[in-house]
């Protein structure tokens, strides 16, 4: 499900209805909400007394997010969503939670209205699509509503389940209902499988398919078979099938990178780098950490936390290292034993040259350690001459987050003094599974590696990234990293100082275009990022072209304003 294109400053034209669905943000849009609210709940459903100005502002207006559908300037459908307790049903039902199924986060839907002239079913289903996307983006797995008893059959068709007794009075009687995320997904699949009206009602512009355009650095867009593998019943990490999957995954990672040994640990890429730091600590001596972005800074921080004897060589974020200066600083160390750097500095999109790093380490007799968290799977990575490299399942390897991976060109060092989870030697000596590991995460990674078309994937990402950069620059959108040192799958966009990256990111998310902008280092610098780290089949000009148009439009429209 996604949206794109423009009507005015920001709309997504649905060619089947001529209606654009979005979040109401402008004052005139919210006034239209108040007018439709008044017409519906003072005239059609006599719940409120008419006002003199024809406006009915909801009592939770300051807390509501309004999901709306406009045909030009005419509001044809709306719903309000809020997640702050107490809900309106809390005020009508004592101990509301006893009626509800187990859930993580609930929201409530209010003011679900479609203008009478537009009640063909298409508008309602477009709003439900918006609700589905909103709930996924904000982590809600349960939605509550008080639906008019006049439309119970319709609500049931949409997947809502009644609970408790109706509330209100005879003139305006409402049935409390809830919708779970699982039931919403089942109803969506049912509509699509049967080829009923909702399939066409939710059709979007052909420029972007019905799916969200995921340009995040993680979680990334995954192949359907990867998602299916993750949904299989969980297995013991001692089960024969699990042990075989572990062998297969390790072998595929060795083949992909040329590593000699592979350790897979439950955790994030940060944990993988902590495990690298643990191995460095067993090596001893002094080392140099290179920093030209956020993730280099994190390596320096981890070196400090582990008490490693080191210096830090910093350049401006987004800059390329002066390699001669790096060599001089490495040579000045009293006992240079190791060099630690990011391959792809994900914060800026700079791809630090691996051959140069390898050459410097070799000339000075130091071991090279590499943060390959974004590069392994995005570009060819040959770990010849690299002692240790980190990566993770949830980025360019195309699976779910949760597995920290360390690759090595030599046997892992035994370290009885290390925290157990960081003792990579023990991981290797126990067939890779000394402790509990998610069979679901491993199965998904296994399938992702099997499905990964090498070397075609690398070429697809390279070509798509090159074309995306060209389109952005042509549209007047700046890209931080110089083209000759840029990673093809990470494009960092400095947003003009007159705008806020968070506002641009929010607007893109409204349109079903997911970009990275909420991390602290991006917010601090007013940056956002477009990343091509997931299923490469989605990185087509037909899907990425409208992204450029939308981003350029937001930047130019709001700059002009």
Q: What mean pLDDT is predicted for residues 176-183?
A: 85
For 207, the token pair is 């420029």
460 and 447 in a common domain: no
Question: Residue 65's pLDDT is what?
Answer: 95
Task: State the number of CA atoms in the 13 A half-sphere of 281 facing the CB.
Answer: 22
Residue that is last in its domain, among 394, 426, 451: 451
CATH of the domain at 184: 3.40.630.30
Q: Are residues 287 and 416 located together in one domain of the fold?
A: yes
How confident is residue 13, by pLDDT bands cut at 50, 70 and 90? very low
Residue 98, pLDDT above cutoff 60: yes
pLDDT of residue 44: 83
Nearest partner of 393 among 299, 256, 522, judged by Cα? 256
Residues 255 and 365 reside in one and the same domain: yes
Q: Is residue 117 very low, low, confident or very high in pLDDT (cuts 50, 70, 90)?
A: confident
Q: Does residue 445 share a domain with residue 326?
A: yes
Q: What pLDDT, on a 0 to 100 scale, did the predictor assign at position 467?
A: 97
In this predicted structure, the answer to whether residue 199 has a pLDDT above a threshold of 60 is no
What percentage of residues in the chain have a pLDDT greater than 90?
Answer: 62
Would the pLDDT of 468 be above 60? yes
Residue 329 sits in a domain whose CATH number is: 3.40.640.10
State residue 225's pLDDT score. 94
At 547 the pLDDT is 94
- Between residues 104 and 320, which one has the greater pLDDT? 320
Q: Give the C-alpha separation, 447 to 433, whole Å.
A: 19
Instruction: Please indicate, yes or no, whether residues 155 and 37 belong to a single structural domain of this protein.
Output: yes
Q: Yes or no: say if 7 and 72 are a contact pair by the CB < 8 Å rule.
A: yes
What digits encode the pLDDT tens for the residues 312-322? 999 999 999 99
Q: For residue 170, what pLDDT is reported?
A: 66
pLDDT of amino acid 148: 79
Where among 451, 470, 490 does a domain terminate? 451
**Nearest CA among 155, 87, 86 for reference residue 124:** 155
Q: Which residue has the tokens 């083949």?
A: 255
Mean pLDDT of the chain: 87
| 362 within domain boundaries | yes
- So what's the pLDDT on residue 198? 33
Q: Which residues pair with 291 in a beta bridge?
A: 314
Report the C-alpha gap between 448 and 450 in whole angstroms: 5
Whole-number pLDDT of residue 132: 84
DSSP string, 102-145: P-S-EEEEEEEEE-GGGTTTHHHHHHHHHHHHHHHHHT--EEEE
Q: Which domain holds residue 74?
A: 17-202
Question: What Å distances lie between residue 138 and 21, 65, 66, 147, 466, CA to CA?
Answer: 18, 12, 14, 23, 32
Distance, CA of 19 to CA of 7 (rounded, Å):
10
**DSSP for 242-302?**
HHHHHHHHHHHHHHHH--SEEEEEES-HHHHHHHHHHHHHHH-SEEEEEESSHHHHHHHHH
pLDDT at 119: 76
Is residue 211 included in any domain, yes or no?
A: no
468 versus 174: which is more confidently predicted? Answer: 468
pLDDT of residue 11: 32
Question: Can you give the CATH number for the domain in which 498 is found?
Answer: 3.90.1150.10
**Residue 37, in any domain of the structure:** yes
214 within some domain: no
Residue 278 is predicted with a pLDDT of: 96
pLDDT at 189 over 60: no
Give a yes or no: residue 213 inside a domain. no
- Rounded to whole angstroms, the Cα distance separating 546 from 204 reads 13
Q: Which residue has the higher pLDDT, 117 or 474?
A: 474
Q: Which residues pair with 143 in a beta bridge?
A: 107, 179
Do 342 and 233 lie in one domain? The reply is: yes
Let me know whether 427 and 518 are in one domain.
Answer: no
Name residue 400's beta-bridge partners: none
Provide the number of structural domains found in the chain.
Answer: 3
Compute the average pLDDT of residues 21-39: 92
Whether residue 410 sits in one domain with residue 535: no
Q: Domain check: are 435 and 482 in the same one?
A: no
pLDDT at residue number 552:
93
Band of the pLDDT at 211, cuts 50, 70, 90? low
For range 440-450, the mean pLDDT: 95
In a domain, 209, yes or no: no
pTM over 0.95: no
pLDDT confidence tier of residue 361, bands split at 50, 70 and 90: very high
Closest C-alpha among 519, 542, 512 to residue 221: 512
Residue at a domain's end among 451, 479, 494: 451
More reliable by pLDDT, 44 or 272: 272
229 confidence band (pLDDT: 50, 70, 90): very high
409 and 305, same structural domain? yes
Same domain (yes/no): 444, 460: no
Residues 377-435 pLDDT 10s: 999 999 999 999 999 999 999 999 999 999 999 999 987 788 888 888 887 776 667 78
Domain contains 381: yes
> Does the residue 72 lie in any domain?
yes
Check pLDDT > 80 for residue 488.
yes
Q: Are residues 99 and 190 in the same domain?
A: yes
């Amino acid at each position: 499900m996604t949206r794109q294109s423009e009507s005015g400053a920001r709309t997504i034209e649905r060619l089947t209805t001529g209606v654009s669905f979005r979040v109401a943000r402008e004052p005139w849009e919210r006034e239209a909400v108040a007018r439709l609210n008044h017409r519906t709940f003072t005239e059609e459903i006599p719940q409120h007394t008419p006002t003199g100005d024809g406006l009915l502002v909801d009592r939770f207006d300051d807390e509501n997010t309004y999901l709306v559908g406009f045909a030009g300037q005419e509001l044809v459908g709306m719903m309000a969503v809020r997640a702050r307790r107490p809900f309106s049903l809390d005020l009508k039902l004592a101990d509301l939670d006893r009626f509800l199924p187990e859930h993580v986060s609930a929201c409530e839907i209010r003011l679900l209205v479609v203008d009478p002239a537009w009640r063909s079913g298409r508008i309602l289903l477009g709003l439900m699509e918006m609700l589905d996307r909103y709930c996924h983006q904000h982590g809600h797995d349960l939605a509550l509503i008080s639906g008019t008893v006049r439309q119970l059959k319709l609500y049931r068709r949409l997947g809502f389940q009644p609970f408790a007794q109706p509330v209100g009075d005879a003139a305006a009687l409402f049935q409390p209902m809830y919708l779970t995320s699982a039931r919403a997904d089942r109803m969506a699949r049912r509509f699509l499988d049967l080829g009923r009206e909702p399939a066409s009602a939710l059709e979007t512009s052909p420029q972007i398919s019905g799916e969200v355009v995921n340009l995040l650095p993680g979680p990334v867009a995954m192949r359907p078979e990867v998602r299916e593998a993750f949904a299989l019943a969980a297995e013991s990490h001692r089960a024969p099938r699990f042990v075989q999957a572990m062998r297969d995954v390790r072998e595929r990672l060795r083949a992909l990178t040329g590593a000699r040994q592979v350790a897979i640990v439950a955790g994030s890429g940060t944990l993988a780098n902590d495990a690298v730091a643990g191995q460095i600590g067993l090596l001893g001596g002094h080392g140099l950490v290179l920093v030209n972005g956020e993730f280099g800074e994190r390596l320096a921080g981890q070196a400090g936390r582990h008490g490693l004897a080191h210096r830090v060589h910093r350049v401006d974020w987004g800059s390329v290292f002066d390699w001669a200066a790096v060599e001089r600083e490495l040579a000045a160390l009293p006992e240079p034993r190791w060099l630690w750097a990011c391959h792809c500095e994900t914060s800026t999109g700079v791809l630090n040259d691996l051959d140069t790093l390898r050459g410097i380490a070799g000339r000075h007799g130091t071991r090279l350690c590499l943060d390959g968290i974004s590069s392994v799977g995005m570009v060819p990575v040959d770990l010849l001459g690299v002692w240790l490299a980190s990566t993770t399942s949830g980025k360019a390897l195309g699976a779910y987050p949760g597995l920290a991976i360390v690759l090595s060109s030599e046997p892992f060092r035994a370290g009885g003094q290390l925290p157990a989870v960081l003792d990579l030697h023990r991981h290797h000596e126990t067939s890779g599974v000394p402790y509990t590991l998610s069979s679901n995460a491993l199965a998904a990674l296994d399938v992702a590696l099997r499905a990964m078309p090498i070397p075609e994937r690398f070429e697809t990402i390279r070509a798509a990234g090159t074309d995306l950069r060209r389109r952005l620059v042509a549209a007047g959108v700046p890209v931080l990293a110089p083209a000759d040192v840029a990673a093809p799958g990470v494009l960092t966009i400095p947003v003009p100082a007159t705008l806020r990256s968070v506002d641009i990111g929010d607007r893109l998310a409204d349109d079903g275009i997911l970009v990275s902008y909420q991390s602290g280092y991006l917010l601090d610098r007013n940056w956002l990022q477009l990343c091509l780290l997931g299923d490469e089949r989605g990185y087509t000009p037909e899907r990425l072209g409208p992204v450029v148009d939308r981003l350029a439009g937001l930047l130019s429209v709001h700059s002009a304003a």
